[in-house]
Structure 1
Amino acid sequence: MTSLDAAATIMDADIVETPETEAPEPVAATILDGWSEEQTASFQKDILTFRHRLEDTGLFTDAALIDLLERHPANMLDVCTMGATNDPLYPNKFRTGDFRDASAADLLAAAKAGCIWINARKAMNIHADYNAVLKRMYGDLSEATGNRAFNANGGILISSPVARVPYHFDKTEVILWHVRGQKTVHVWPVSQDFIPDRAVEATLTNMIEDDLPYTAAFEDHSTVLKLQPGQGATWPLNAPHRVDNETFCVSVTTEYSTTESATKNAAMMTNATLRRYFGMNPLYERDGAVARRLKSIAGRVIRKTPLAVNTTGTDMVTFKIDASVEGYVVNVEPFERNF
C-alpha cells in the first residue's frame, strides 16, 4: 500500500511464521460482513469495496494501539512525515523520522495532531493477538472466494488528518481494511497511460520507493473511494493509487503473493534487462502465457546475478519526534537509519 512496505518483498511475500505468545480467541465470529457472490466475482479483477468487523476485536482503540507501539520492534516501525509541495529539500517526499526518544503515547498523539504517518510493519503477523485476527480475515476470504489459503503480511497504519500517500503502486496483491476515520482512495486503471512498464521495471530494483510518474491530468481518470470505518477496498494487481486522509485514521494494509504477481514481477525483471542492456522495448501486456512463463523463469535467475542492478538508495533520517514542539516534528541533520 505504501513506499516503505515495498521493502518487505519483491517476488514473494516474506511471512512471519511464529507468533510471540499464545493467541487469544478472536472477538468476532467472522471478520467479513455481508460478502456477496458479486464481490467474489469481482475479487482481484475489479475495484471492490466491502464491509468488515475489525473494530469489534478491540485491537484498534487508543489504548490498544499504545500497547502495540510499546511492544512492536523498533526496526519494524516506520514513523514518517511528508515534505510539502513547496519544500525545497523534500517536495512531496516521504521523510523518515527518529522516534526513539518518544513514548508510544507521544507517537499516537503526534499522529492525531501533526503530519505523522506510522506503519507498524507486519504487526498482524508478529503479535499473537493480531495474528489470530489476520488468520480469521484471510480464512473468511478463502471461504468466501474459494481461493486457496493466503499467506498474507499485515501492517497497521496510524496516520494524521493531513497525511497522504502519493501516487504509487504495489508489487503484490493488496487489501486495505479501514478501521477508524475517513480516508479517500483514488485508483487508476492498469494501463501504459498510468503505469508504464518502464516505471514498474524501475521499482523492481528499488526496495524503498514505488512512486510513479504523475500529472494533474490523471485526476479525471481515477475511481474515487470514500472509505468509512468498517469498510475495506481492494483493486487489480499493480493498479496505481494514492490516498488522502480526511481525519485521523487507523487502517490495516495486507499484502499477499499470488502466482500472477510472482510471475509478473519476475517476467518484468527480464524485460528490464532486455530494455537496459539490449535496447529493446518489451511490454508485458504483449506477451502470451508461454512468453510470460519463460521470462518469469529467466527473471528469477537474473535477480541473482549482477545484471539485476540494485538502485535502492540509503534510507536517511531527516527529522525526529519531539512532544515539546507544536506538530511534533523537528528537523535534524540527515543520517542513515540505523535502528
Structure 2
Amino acid sequence: MSTALAQTSASRSANLAPLRKSVPVATVPDMLDGWTDEHSATFQSDIMTFRHRLEKTGLFSDDALVDLLERHPGTMLDVCTMGAADHPLYPNRFRTGDFRGIPGADLLAAAKAGKIWINVRQAMNIHPEYKAVLDRMYGDLSEATGNRAFNAKGGILISSPVARVPYHFDKTEVILWHVRGRKTVYVWPVNQTFIPDRAHEATLTNMIDDDLPYTADFEQHATVLRLEDGDGATWPLNAPHRVDNETFCVSVTTEYSTTESGMKNAAMLTNATMRRYLGAQPLYERDGAMSRQVKSFAGRIIRKTPLAKDNTHTDMVTFRIDASQEGYLVDVEPFERNF
C-alpha cells in the first residue's frame, strides 16, 4: 500500500485543505472542452461523446477520494461486486458488500486491486466543493444547449479494473463524465427488442433493480464507446447499456428529470397497471401525445394508491471488505442491509 494511502484521516484532511483551495472551480475556464453546435444538436437525441475538464478541479485525485470516502455518509455509500460465472452461490449476480469500519484508504485500495465498484451516491450534491462543480457542469451545459436540467444529482463511481455493470437502463436522463482510467460502454437502441415495455414497466416499482432481459445476440447491435480520461458520454432517455472497465476508473454519473422522462415514467406506470389488472397489452410507442398526457396524469394518481404494487426486493449483503485478504472480498452469511 502506498504511503499516501496509509496516512491517517487527520493528516489526509490537513493535506487536502490547500489542495482544495489551490484549484477553485472559478479558475477552470469551462467544464466542457470543445463543445460544438453538433454536440448541442445531438444532445439527448442520439448517442454521443464529448470532452470535459473535471479532473482539473483536483477533486478526483487519490487523496481527494480517500478524504471523500472518510466523510461521506455510510447510508449513501454502496460497495458492490458481480459474482463470477462459476460462483457456486452468486453466478453472474449483482452483490452488495459490507464496508463498515473500513478506512477510506483501504476502500480505495480495494477498488484498485479487487473486483468491486464503489458508488458514492449524491457526492456531487452533499459536499459543498463537489456541489460547486456540479452547478458549474450544468450551468455550462445549459448555456451550450439552451436546455434546463431539473434536480440534477451526481454520484461518483470508483471501480476496479475488472468491474462491470450489467445490461440495464436508467429511468431519467443520464450523463457519464469519465474522469480517470479506460472503460468501454455498450449502448443499444430504445425499441421493443432491447427494452420491451413489459420489462420497463416492471422496474418502475423496483427501486434497486434496473436490469433487463439480455442475450449474447444483442452484442452485434450495440454502439461501442471507448472512454479515457476526460471523456463524457450520453445517450437517449432509457437507452439500455452496460459497462466494462479496462483499468481502475473514476467517473461521475449525473441524472436529471425532464418533462419527457417524468411523463414517460408516469404513463408507463399506467400501462403496467392496465396490463396487470385489465389484461391489456399497451405499448408506449403506439400512444399519441394526448394519450400519453392522460396516462401520465393517471400514473401520478396511481403512484399514490395500492394499485402501484411495490415489488422492491430486499437488499441482501453477501460479502465484506477485508484488507488482509487477497482481492479484499470475503463471503459472509447473507443478511439484510441495515446500514
TM-score (norm 1): 0.92
Cα distance in 1 for partners of 2:229, 2:74 equals 28
Residue aligning to 2:283: 283
Q: Which has the higher contact order (CA 8 A, sep 6+)?
A: 1
Does residue 138 of structure 1 match 2:158? no
Structure 1 equivalent of residue 261 of structure 2: 261
Whole-angstrom CA distance in 2 between matches of 1:307 and 1:149: 31
Task: Give, in angstroms, the shift of residue 149 of structure 1.
Answer: 4.5
CA distance in 2, matches of 1:245, 1:71: 26
- The equivalent of 1:250 in structure 2 is 250
Following the alignment from structure 1 to structure 2, what is the Cα–Cα distance between the partners of residues 336 and 91?
Answer: 20
Map Cα deviations across residues 63-98 of structure 1 (whole Å, 9 max, x no partner): 000000000000000001110122232122211111
Q: Following the alignment from structure 2 to structure 1, what is the Cα–Cα distance between the partners of residues 202 and 228? A: 34
Distance 1:109 1:208, change over 3 A: same
Contact 2:149 2:258 in 1 (8 A): no
The answer to whether the 8 Å contact 1:66/1:105 transfers is: yes
Match of 2:319 in 1: 319
Q: Which moved more, 1:94-103 or 1:193-202?
A: 94-103
Q: Which amino acid counterpart does residue 209 of structure 2 have in structure 1?
A: E
Task: Please give the secondary structure, in 2, of the residue aligned with 1:105.
Answer: helix
Q: 1:62 aligns to what?
A: 62
Question: What secondary structure does 1:312 align onto?
Answer: coil
Which has the larger helix fraction?
2
The aligned length equals 317
Deviations 1:121-140 (A, max 9, x none): 00000000000000000000
Determine the C-alpha separation between the residues in 2 that align with 1:111 and 1:137.
Answer: 26
Q: Could you tell me whether the CA contact under 8 Å between 2:160 and 2:247 is conserved in 1?
A: yes
Report if the CA contact (8 A) 2:149-2:257 is conserved: no
Report SS of the residue matched to 2:70. Answer: helix
> For 1:149 and 1:217, how far apart are their aligned partners in 2?
35
Whether 2:218 is the aligned partner of 1:223: answer no
* Structure 2 unaligned spans of 5+: 1-19
Q: Is the 8 A contact 1:44 1:236 kept in 2?
A: yes
2:185 corresponds to: 185
CA distance in 1, matches of 2:297, 2:199: 21
- The equivalent of 1:115 in structure 2 is 115
Moved over 6 A (4+): none
1:5 equivalent in structure 2:
none
One-letter amino acid of the structure 2 residue matched with residue 267 of structure 1: A
Aligned partners of 1:308, 1:86: CA distance in 2, in Å?
37
Cα contact 1:321–1:330 (8 A) shared by 2: yes
Helix, strand or coil at the partner of 1:291: helix
Answering whether residue 209 of structure 2 is matched by residue 201 of structure 1, we say no
- Which residue of the partner structure matches residue 214 of structure 1? 214
Whether the 8 Å CA contact 1:142–1:150 is kept in 2: the answer is: no
Pairing 1:2-13 to 2, within 5 Å after superposition:
none
Identity %: 77
Q: What's the CA shift for 1:45?
A: 0.1
Distance 1:276 1:79 in 2: 35
> Which letter maps to 1:133?
V
Given that 1:139 and 1:149 are in contact with CA atoms closer than 8 Å, whether structure 2 keeps it comes out as: no
- Paired with 1:37 and 1:311, the residues of 2 have a C-alpha distance of 43
2:331 aligns with 331
Q: Specify the SS of the correspondent of 1:84.
A: coil
* Whole-angstrom distance in 2 between the partners of 1:265 and 1:149: 17
| SS class of match (1:307) | coil
TM-score scaled by length of structure 2: 0.92
Question: Letter of the aligned partner of 1:72 in structure 2?
Answer: H
Q: Is the 8 A contact 2:82 2:94 kept in 1?
A: yes
2:176 aligns with 176
The CA RMSD over aligned residues, in Å, is 1.0
In structure 2, give the amino acid aligned to 1:251: S
- Whole-angstrom CA distance in 1 between matches of 2:198 and 2:156: 30
CA distance in 2, matches of 1:198, 1:307: 17
CA distance in 1, matches of 2:309, 2:90: 25
Structure 1: which amino acid aligns with 2:193?
D
The 1:149–1:163 alpha-carbon spacing in structure 2 relative to 1, beyond 3 Å, is closer
What whole-Å deviation, never above 9, does each CA across 1:302-339 have from its counterpart, x for those lacking one? 01111100000111111100000000000111111111
- The structure having more radius of gyration, on CA atoms, is 2
Note if contact 2:182-2:247 (Cα within 8 Å) is conserved in structure 1: yes
